[in-house]
Structure 1
Amino acid sequence: MMIQALVFDVFGTLVDWRSGLAREAARLLAPYAPALDAGAFADAWRGCYGLSLEPVRSGARAYVDLDTIQAESLPDVLVQFGIVGVPEDVRRELVQAWHRLDAWPEVPEGMRRLRERHLLAPNSNGHVRLMVDLARRNGLIFDAILGGGYSRDFKPKPALYRDAVAAFGFAPAETLMVAAHSNDLAAAASHGLSTAHIARPHEHGPAGGETAPSVPVTYAARNLMDLADQLGC
């Protein structure tokens, strides 16, 4: 089948979360932690992510958006780094750092090319306002905002993949899940979606990132420009 729509993981696939969080943490926490290892801080905060989402994914908690999740995990990260005295307004600004992340360099042009022939939407754990802010910051144009805020759940729950297919009305195989994370693609494939892996070897800074998929995929690309080439865009 021809690919008709692309739905994207965002954090790590389209935007460089580590550099952006480190930049904002260094700026906002300088008065309280002048010697902060901002990269390690970003890693630690991101490291809370999976565990923080689990109560919603398990059904033990009603859906709350990603800003709420990040705000709840932030105090433990501050304690981990021995940072005290951070006022509430600065903590709120730190949570907003997730809205001020920069795209990987090729993403705006890659998305422009892909949109010439396909419908595009995020399929991220992020909620609508978060996706809109990242899109506006980086000049990305989506045809819809799907994902956590739309499905009221978090990946890899089935609703996010099934809703992404239903939203555009194409067959599952005509809908391409694009991600830098093999586990996300495996979950999408289990619901019949086509899959594209994007290599992001620097996603985690010194810790690296996925250079190739560890699961079978429909496409494996070096970046979005390479994916656009493979799709004939």
Structure 2
Amino acid sequence: MSSILGVRALLFDVFGSVVDWRTSIARDLSQWGHDKGIGIDWEAFARAWRRQYQPKMQEVRSGKRGFTLLDDLHREALETLLPEFGLSHLSEAEKSHINQVWHRLDAWPDSIAGLWRLKSKFIIAPLSNGNVALLSNMAKHAGLPWDLNLSTQWFNAYKPQPQTYLGCARVLGLKPEQVMMCASHNDDLNAARQCGLKTAFWPRPTEYGIEQTIDFEAEQAWDIVAKDIRDLAQQLLDR
């Protein structure tokens, strides 16, 4: 219990932890594709698109290229996917609509209620690699009740670079130990812990569908291990 005393702000990983990107993209684009007469495996498309997420950001983290917004990295990855799925013929407007699907992701069933409960006591914000416009539109679409958007864009970096975690604590006027990183990804929490932040984990065992191989359970003794965000709220507010 004593390990989390003094925590004043909760930072949330978003993709996979708070919103369900895989089924959201598949559902959204399946309906769009149906209206357009495009019948591909949109879930496979979503998973293939997501596989390019880390490699694209690593180009920035490594210094190979300057900081580039996630929206633009998503679009670059999309351009490579379209031929693989027989979609080279799409118009610019259609490509833009597909790329914006990341702005239209839906929350996991427990996310909204859990966040509202936590908001009653803590500052809550995303610490996401999503850019500000993406996170703002997603919050409006999904009903995510953030107090503010703490995108890594503000720091021209991508998690797990230390300046993202430490930069958020600085922006909030808090010491690292007064901030808790909350995520379904052990590697994110490990990086946050190395920066002095508190940590909270809950599993999302269906995030990647059939391709999921990690993050089924806590891999370290995080400060809190919860079942989901509702349970996280229960544990934090009952202390």
> How many angstroms does 1:33 deviate by?
4.0
- Give SS of 1:231's match: helix
**Alignment match, 2:113:** 109
Of stretches 70-79 and 22-31 in structure 1, the one that deviates more from structure 2 is 22-31
Once residues 58 and 190 of structure 1 are traced to their aligned partners in structure 2, the CA distance between those partners, rounded to angstroms, is 19
Of stretches 209-218 and 52-61 in structure 1, the one that deviates more from structure 2 is 209-218
- Matched to 1:223, the amino acid is D
> Normalization by structure 1: what TM-score?
0.94
User: In 2, are the aligned partners of 1:25 and 1:41 still within 8 Å (CA)?
Assistant: no
**What does 1:21-170 correspond to in 2, within 5 Å?**
21-30=25-34, 31=36, 33-34=38-39, 36-170=40-174
- Give SS of 2:237's match: coil
1:225 aligns with 2:223: no
Question: 4+ runs of 1 displaced by more than 6 Å?
Answer: none
Once residues 53 and 20 of structure 1 are traced to their aligned partners in structure 2, the CA distance between those partners, rounded to angstroms, is 22
Of stretches 212-221 and 22-31 in structure 1, the one that deviates more from structure 2 is 22-31
**Identity percentage of aligned residues:** 37
**Alignment match, 1:175:** 179
User: In 2, are the aligned partners of 1:122 and 1:147 still within 8 Å (CA)?
Assistant: yes
Q: How many residues align structurally?
A: 232
Q: Structure 1 residues 81 and 33, CA, compared in 2 at 3 Å: closer, same or farther?
A: same
Of stretches 19-28 and 49-58 in structure 1, the one that deviates more from structure 2 is 19-28
Any unmatched runs of 5+ in structure 1? Answer: none
User: In 2, are the aligned partners of 1:32 and 1:85 still within 8 Å (CA)?
Assistant: no
User: In 1, are the aligned partners of 2:14 and 2:128 still within 8 Å (CA)?
Assistant: yes
> How many angstroms does 1:25 deviate by?
2.8
Q: Deviations over 1:156-175 (max 9, x none)?
A: 11111111111112221110
> How many angstroms does 1:32 deviate by?
6.5
> Normalization by structure 2: what TM-score?
0.92
Any unmatched runs of 5+ in structure 2? Answer: none
User: In 2, are the aligned partners of 1:66 and 1:126 still within 8 Å (CA)?
Assistant: yes
Q: CA RMSD in A?
A: 1.5
